[in-house]
Amino acid sequence: MIIQPLANLHKKMGRFFIPTILVLFFIISTLLLYPSVQQKNISYQEGQVAEENIRANKTIENTNATEQKRKLAAEAVTPEYTYQSDMAKKQYDLVNNLFTLILRVKDAADKSYQQKVQAAKNGTEVVKPTIDELITALKKEFKSIDADDLDFYQGMSTNFLQNIFALSASEIATVRDQTLELMNEQMSKQIKANEVETARQTAENQLDQLELSVSQASVIRYMLSKGIVANTFLNEKRTTELQNEAKDAIQPVMIYQGEIIVREGSQIDQTAIEKLKLLGLTNKNKSFFPLIAVICAILLQISMLVFFVNQMEEKNKATDCYLFYMTIMTLSMIAMKFFQLFQSDGLPYIPLFFPAAFAPLVLNLFMNRRSGLLAALFQVIFAVFIFNNTYSDIGTNILIFIFLSYLFSGVMGAIIRQQRISEQLVISMTWLVLFPFLMNIMLVIYQGMSITEGRTWITLACALAGTLLSLLLTMGLHQYIELLVTDDSVIVLNELSNPNHPLLKRLLEEAPGTYHHSMMVANLSANAVAAIGGNSLLTRVACYYHDIGKLKHANFFVENLPAGAENPHNFLLPEDSRDIIFGHVLDGADVLEKERMPQMVVDICRQHHGTTLMKFFYVKAKERNDQIKEEDFRYPGPKPQSKEAGVVSIADSCEAAVRAMDHPSNQDIQQFVSNLIKDRILDGQLEDSGLTLKEIRLIEESLVNGLCSTFHSRIKYPKMKPTASQDSKKEA
C-alpha cells in the first residue's frame, strides 16, 4: 500500500493505472537524464582561443605522434657493423705480392742487361731496359694472378709504375717494408667506409718522420691509398632488424579520455588541431545517439521491471512494487544530479557522497531482493549518463572509481538480510560499510594512488561517507518508508497497541473478560512468534483486536458473564448459539476493515479459528437432530494463511481452555497443548500457514512455558486472626 490516494486512483483507473505510471516514469527519467547527454554544435579552428578546457571525449591512438616517435627510435638505433679480420691479411698479401712481382721484373731485367753487357763485344753499346719495357714485363706477370685479385693489380696507375720502376731495388724494398708496416698498423683496426680517408691520412702523416726521398714517399702514399681499405661493413639486415625492434618497443601514443587537449585561454595550435581531428571534435554536430542510448536504457529497465514483477508470486504486491521502485529510482537519479552539480576539477570526488546502497537496500527490505539488484545495476548505468558532461572535467580514473563503488555498494545493499537494520546493526555495518571500504582501498591500490597523497585520503573519506550515509538514511527513514509501503508499520502498530485506542477502551469497558483474554493471548502469541523469527509486534497488536467482534454480543461469551450469572446459551438453540459465536469472527473483521486496520490484523481476526469444529454446540445439535452435518458447525475460515495467524489460532484456544481448568498442573498444561496442536495438524488447520515441524515444536515449548508461568499453582497461606481480637482474649 503506497499512499492511500494512489490506491484510490488505482481503483478508479483499473488496468490502465500500471501502463500510465510506467509511461510517466519513462518521461520523468528521460527529462532527468537528457540534460546530461545533450550535445552542442562545436567548431574548433587553428589560432582560436579556447573558452574552456578542451578534453578528449574518448581514448584513441595518436597515430601521427606514434609514427614520429617510432621514426626517431629507428634513427637512434646504432647501425650494426661486421668486422672482417681477414681483410688485413688479404690486403697485405696483395701489396706484398705486387712488390714481389715488381722486384722480380726489375731483377730479371737487370740480370738480362748484365748478361748482354758481358756478351757484347768491346765498343758495343748495350741499351738498358726502359721503364715502359719493365711495365710491359710486369703486366705480363699479371697473367698468372688469380682472377679474383686481378682487378687490384690492373688498377695500378701508369704513373705509379713509372715512379716505382725508377727506383733502385733497395729503394723499392724500403718502400715495400714501410708500406706494409704502415698499412698493417691501420688495418689492424676496425675501419668503416667513412673512416678510410682518416686512416690513410694517419698513415701518410707518419711518412714525415721517415727518411725517404720524394719519389719513395710518393709511391708509398699511392700504395697506402690502395692498400688501406674498409674492413668493417654495415650489416643492413641486422640493422633493419634492430630498427624494427626499436619501433615495436615504442608504445602507441594515446589520447586518453579526459586528457586536456587545450587549456582554457590558450590558442589552438596545429598539434592540438591534429588531436581534435582524431577525436572528431574539430567540427562536431549535434548527435541524437546519446539520447537514443538513454531511451534504450530506460526502456530496458522498465522491461526488466515488468518481467520480474509478472513473475512475483504475491500478485497483490505488484502495484506497490512498481510504485516503490519507480519512486526510489527517481529520487536516486535526482540525488546523483544534485551531486553532479558540485563536481569539478577541484572537487572530483563529490559523487562518492552519493548513498549508492540506499535504493537497493530499501527495495530489498520492503519489496524483494531482485528489485534491489535491478536498482543497483541501473544506478550505475544512469550514473554513466548523468556524469557524461563531466567526462571532460574529471578524467577517466575517478569515473571508474565512482562506477565500481556505486555497483559494489548497491549489490551489498541488495544481498543483505531482509530484516530491520536496527536489529542487525553489526551485520549491516559489515556489509554496507566495511566491505565497500575495503573494495575502495583495493581500487586505490589498483590505480596506483600514493598513500601519502592527500587526494587518496579524500577519496577514501568521501566513499566512506557515502556508505555511512546509506546506512544512516535507511535506519532513520525505515519507519517512515513503512508508512508509505505497508499498512503495518511500527508507527502504526505502536499507535494501535496504545490502551487508549477507542476500540480497546470499548473492549475493556464492554467486554472486560474478552479484553483480558486478548491481552493474555497477545503475550503468549508474541513470545511464540518471536521464537520462530516472525513479526512479534504485529502479532501482539493483531491479538489485541482478534476478538473485537465479541462487542456485538459480549454477554454471550462466558468470559464476560458476571459472577453467578446463568449462561444465556442455555436458552438458545444450538444453531442460534452457533451463529452468535461465528458472528464474532465476521463482525470483528468488518469492524477492523471499517477502522482501516492493517490487513494482517484483519486476516488474523478472520483466520484465528480457521475452519475448526464448534464441538460443544455440534454435539448438542446432533443430539436433537441426527441429520445435522459437521460442516454446518465449522467456522467459516479461512484456515491460517501465515505463521503468525497459525500461532494465534493455537494460543487462543490454549489460553481459553487452560483458563477453564481447575488448578491445572504443569503436566496437565503440557499434555493439553500437545494434544491440541496434534488435533490441529490432523484436522489440516495448519497446512496453509507455512509452519514447519521444528517451528511447531518451538511454538509448543513457548506456549507451555507461558501458560505454566501464568496458571501455576499457588501456596495456600493459613488464615491469621486479627491482632486486636487476640489481645482482647488475653485480657479476658
The answer to whether residues 452 and 570 belong to one domain is no
Question: What pLDDT score does 2 carry?
Answer: 53
Which of the 8 DSSP states describes residue 613? B
Q: Are 542 and 551 in contact (CB under 8 A)?
A: no
pLDDT at 729 over 80: no
Question: What pLDDT score does 732 carry?
Answer: 30
pLDDT band at 641; cut points 50, 70, 90: very high
The answer to whether residues 280 and 302 belong to one domain is no
Residue 518 lies in a domain: yes
List the grid coordinates of 122.
768491346
Residue 496 lies in a domain: no
Residue 113 lies in a domain: yes
Question: What pLDDT score does 287 carry?
Answer: 67
More confident residue, 443 or 697: 697
* DSSP H or E segment with residue 260: strand 260-262
pLDDT at 644 over 90: yes
Residue 395 lies in a domain: yes
pLDDT tens-place string over residues 162-221:
888 888 888 888 888 888 888 888 888 888 888 889 988 988 888 878 888 888 888 888
The answer to whether residues 207 and 293 belong to one domain is no
The answer to whether residues 433 and 319 belong to one domain is yes
Question: What pLDDT score does 698 carry?
Answer: 95
Residue 241 lies in a domain: no
pLDDT band at 712; cut points 50, 70, 90: low
The answer to whether residues 269 and 354 belong to one domain is no
* DSSP H or E segment with residue 63: helix 63-75
pLDDT band at 119; cut points 50, 70, 90: confident
In percent, the amount of the chain with pLDDT more than 90 equals: 29
Q: What is the mean pLDDT of residues 418-427?
A: 85
More confident residue, 96 or 349: 96
Cα–Cα dist 601/579, whole Å: 23
The answer to whether residues 348 and 200 belong to one domain is no
The answer to whether residues 581 and 471 belong to one domain is no
Task: Name, of 66-75, 133-142, 443-452, the range with top average pLDDT.
Answer: 66-75
Place of cell 704513373: 159
> Which one, of 189, 169, 27, lies nearest residue 102 by Cα?
169
List the grid coordinates of 276.
581534435
pLDDT tens-place string over residues 56-102:
767 788 888 888 888 998 888 888 888 888 888 888 888 888 888 88
At which of 486, 516, 533 does a domain end?
A: 486
Question: What pLDDT score does 41 carry?
Answer: 60
Alpha helix positions (H), 430-553:
435-446, 454-485, 490-496, 502-510, 512-531, 536-545
The answer to whether residues 15 and 49 belong to one domain is no
Question: What pLDDT score does 727 carry?
Answer: 45
Residue 626 lies in a domain: yes
pLDDT at 589 over 50: yes
The answer to whether residues 589 and 651 belong to one domain is yes
Q: Which residues of 238-261 are buried (b: 16+ CB within 10 A; e: fewer)?
A: ebeebbeebbeebeeeebebbbeb
Report CA-CA distances (Å) from 225 to 178, 187, 215, 233, 507. 14, 12, 16, 18, 133
The answer to whether residues 532 and 421 belong to one domain is no
More confident residue, 33 or 314: 33
Number of domains in the chain: 4
Q: What is the mean pLDDT of residues 487-492?
A: 83
> Which one, of 390, 44, 99, 360, lies nearest residue 226 by Cα?
99
pLDDT band at 611; cut points 50, 70, 90: very high
pLDDT band at 286; cut points 50, 70, 90: low
| Beta strand pairing call for 42-43 and 54-55 | unpaired
Query: Would the pTM of this model clear 0.85, i.e. be above it?
Result: no
Write out the residue range of the structural domain in which residue 9 sits. 4-37+287-486
Task: Name, of 64-68, 348-352, 509-513, 646-650, the range with top average pLDDT.
Answer: 646-650
Choice among 389-398, 399-408, 669-678 with the minimum mean pLDDT: 389-398
Cα–Cα dist 305/69, whole Å: 52
What residues contact 139, with CB distance under 8 A and at least 6 apart? none
List the grid coordinates of 726.
487476640
What residues contact 384, with CB distance under 8 A and at least 6 apart? 403
pLDDT tens-place string over residues 670-680:
999 999 999 99
Residue 493 lies in a domain: no
Report CA-CA distances (Å) from 36 to 29, 333, 338, 391. 12, 11, 12, 11
Question: What pLDDT score does 730 carry?
Answer: 36
More confident residue, 718 or 402: 402
Taking all residues of the chain, what is their mean pLDDT, rounded to a whole number?
84
Q: What is the mean pLDDT of residues 4-24?
A: 81
List the grid coordinates of 486.
505497508
| CB neighbour class for 366 (10 Å; exposed up to 12, middle 13-18, buried from 19) | buried
Cα–Cα dist 204/160, whole Å: 16
Question: What pLDDT score does 531 carry?
Answer: 94
pLDDT tens-place string over residues 320-329:
888 889 999 9
Question: What pLDDT score does 122 carry?
Answer: 63
The answer to whether residues 178 and 163 belong to one domain is yes
Question: What pLDDT score does 726 carry?
Answer: 44
Which residues partner with 49 through β-bridges? 267
The answer to whether residues 443 and 511 belong to one domain is no
Place of cell 489440516: 684
More confident residue, 700 or 42: 700
Furthest C-alpha separation in the chain: 213
CATH number at residue 580: 1.10.3210
Question: What pLDDT score does 389 carry?
Answer: 58
Residue 642 lies in a domain: yes
> Which one, of 157, 434, 486, lies nearest residue 321 by Cα?
486
Q: What is the mean pLDDT of residues 636-651?
A: 93
pLDDT tens-place string over residues 357-391:
999 999 999 888 999 999 999 999 998 888 765 54
